[in-house]
Each structure stands twice: as structure tokens, then as C-alpha cells.
Amino acid sequence: MVSKRLIREAGHRRKFLAIIDDTPECERAVAYAARRAQATSGALVLLFVIEPGDFQHWLGVEQIMREESTATANAALDTHATKVRETVGIEPELVVREGASADEIHKLIEEDQDIAILVLAAGSSKEGPGPLVSSIAGKTAAFPIPVTVVPQNLSDEEIESLA
């Protein structure tokens, strides 16, 4: 169960959440979420989740690997944020979390009661639509807010006309 959303109360506005990862379709989700935020006078949250399984080494090595992963996450977020600023003119909120993706998405949704829509993009590769979209279809990560799934093959013009 999700906590009450606050978007209808004074001082709050609907936030669209897009997940930043290394999948090629991620950019389409960000583009759509940014356009929807702009069109509805909402806000955009970009989340990068660092998977914890990579840090099972000696303490010194673990710390270096964690710092490198954090730097990679911040660089990816900055790249997408810059594009959003330049194309849509809004300032996204940037969040880095460490843990299992679905768990961290759930936690962020619960903590930020203005997040009302999760935007994902479906990949078009033969491996399937992508891990998060697949998890929704399999109900293993059913999210407590509406999820919009954007096809990877939509152009910027098509996204703009749909959002």
C-alpha cells in the first residue's frame, strides 16, 4: 500500500519519476517524463540505483568501487539533467540510491509523496523489454503508483506530440 499522494495540496505538484540506467531505452523514458512534467506544470525526478552486489571485496577495494560507482551514477544523472534543461527548460531532481532497483524505487515513492507517475521505456531488443518493464509484467515489482511504459522507438517529435 502506498502512502497518500500530496499533489493536490497547496505547495505540492505531481512528480514524474524516470530511472537512469545503462539501457538504451532509458533516454526515451526521460524524454517522455520531462515533456509530461513540462506540459502539466509538474516536476521530474531522475533516479540512479547502484546495485549493491558489486561491493563484496576488501574494505579498501570496496570503498574505491563504491566511489567509482557513485561517480558513474552522478555523471549519468548530470548528462540526462543537462539534456532536460536544454530541451525542456526544467530543473530535474537528481537521486542516487544503493540497493536492489525495485526496492529503491518503492522506497523513494513512499518517501516522496509527490511522485505520482513512474515512467519506464520498453526496449526493442530480442532479450525483451528490459528488466524493470519485465518485472512489472511478471508482477514481482508491482509499483504502487501508475506506470507509463514508453516504446523505445518513439522519436522526440512523437514524444512531444504524445506528452
pTM: 0.85
pLDDT digits (tens, 9 = 90+) for 12-60: 789 999 999 988 889 999 999 999 999 999 999 999 999 876 556 566 6
Structural domain range at position 47: 15-156
Asked, for residue 39, whether it belongs to a domain, the answer is: yes
Query: What's the total number of domains in the chain?
Result: 1
Asked, for residue 9, whether it belongs to a domain, the answer is: no
Query: Is pLDDT above 80 for 4?
Result: no
Phi and psi torsions of 98, nearest 5°? -120, 125
Asked, for residue 89, whether it belongs to a domain, the answer is: yes
Quick check: 152 and 25 in contact, CB under 8 A?
Answer: yes
Asked, for residue 5, whether it belongs to a domain, the answer is: no
The CATH number linked to 57 is 3.40.50.620
